Amino acid sequence: MNELKLLSLDFDGTMVGPWLNGTAAVSQELIECLHALRKAGALLAVNTGRTLPLVDQGFELFPVRPDFALTTEREMFRRTPAGWQAFSRWNERCQQDHERLFNDAAQIMADIEEHVSQERKVRVYRESGRLVGLIAQNNAEMDEVVVYLQDQCKRVANLWFQRNSIYLRFCHSVYHKGSVLQALQAELGIRAEETFAAGDNFNDLPMLDPNLARHLACPANSIEEVKQTVSSHGGYVAEMAGGDGVAEALRRACPQLESAGKRTEE
């Protein structure tokens, strides 16, 4: 089998979690697996809806620092001794495409804001004064918002969104966790056969694609849509939740980890 060279892991609910009383579970098993895989030369990319500052905040919880941060489901940063640096020209193009998109979509974004704040108790969030996302009170409410948005987004070419449970971020339709992973692979010269991807929510679906990662997995706490996608592509739905589930999947994908784990225990 091919060695794993790149891991594309979602953070919340996948690398860490589930949460109990506001505290995220951190899996010792996953920490050991990641140390062993990195020692063998694998690169770790956290592929997340978080912004870069929130990635740093998240990794205060988790002791294995990623080599790459793929943030807000679309931007790409490499960790260097001097801190995070934009990797390749991808971010520049991504930002220009979003600038153009949000200018084209100004009216519809205003309509969406008016609709969601009048009809529901959905909160909006902004970056640099611009509406970029929505937060619902619960999943049922976000289900309804998604139906409304699927229709509204038809009004502007390339306007789309990524959903993570009650959170939603507007985006250009070609940018998502799958396309940013593909761009990273192209930069690094790493193939799908050498890539492992795991996630638990709607925004992970674009990277849970066998054309991008031949090794697909999701933890037991994943939503049904993710479990079905991973299963339908012959990936592994873990029995354990969160990081323990990812470790379980990594040990299956990579039998050499089993012996590395046993040696650690001896």
**Interface contacts to Mg ion, rule CB under 5 A:** 10, 12-13, 200-201
Helix (H, G, I), strand (E, B) or coil at 252: helix
| 102: nearest Cα among 162, 177, 157 | 157
- DSSP letter at 185 equals H
* 12 vs 50: CA distance, rounded Å: 9
Shortest approach of Mg ion to residue 132 CB, angstroms?
19
Least separation in angstroms between CB 221 and Mg ion = 9
Nearer Cβ to Mg ion, position 54 or 108? 54
79 contacts 64 by C-beta, under 8 angstroms: no
Name the closest residue to Mg ion (Cβ): 13
Rounded least distance, CB 48 to Mg ion, Å: 8
CB of 40 or CB of 52, closer to Mg ion: 52
Residue 62 or 102 having the CB closest to Mg ion: 62
Least spacing, CB of residue 177 vs Mg ion, in Å = 10
Closest CB to Mg ion among 10 and 244?
10
**Strand-pair partners of 68:** 45, 78
Using the minimum distance from each CB to Mg ion, give the nearer residue, 32 or 200.
200
Task: Report residue 149 as tokens.
Answer: 């948005």
Alpha-carbon distance values, 188 to 81, 88, 139, 192 (Å): 19, 10, 37, 12
Minimum distance of Mg ion from residue 239's CB (angstroms): 18
Calpha distance 64→44 (Å, rounded): 9
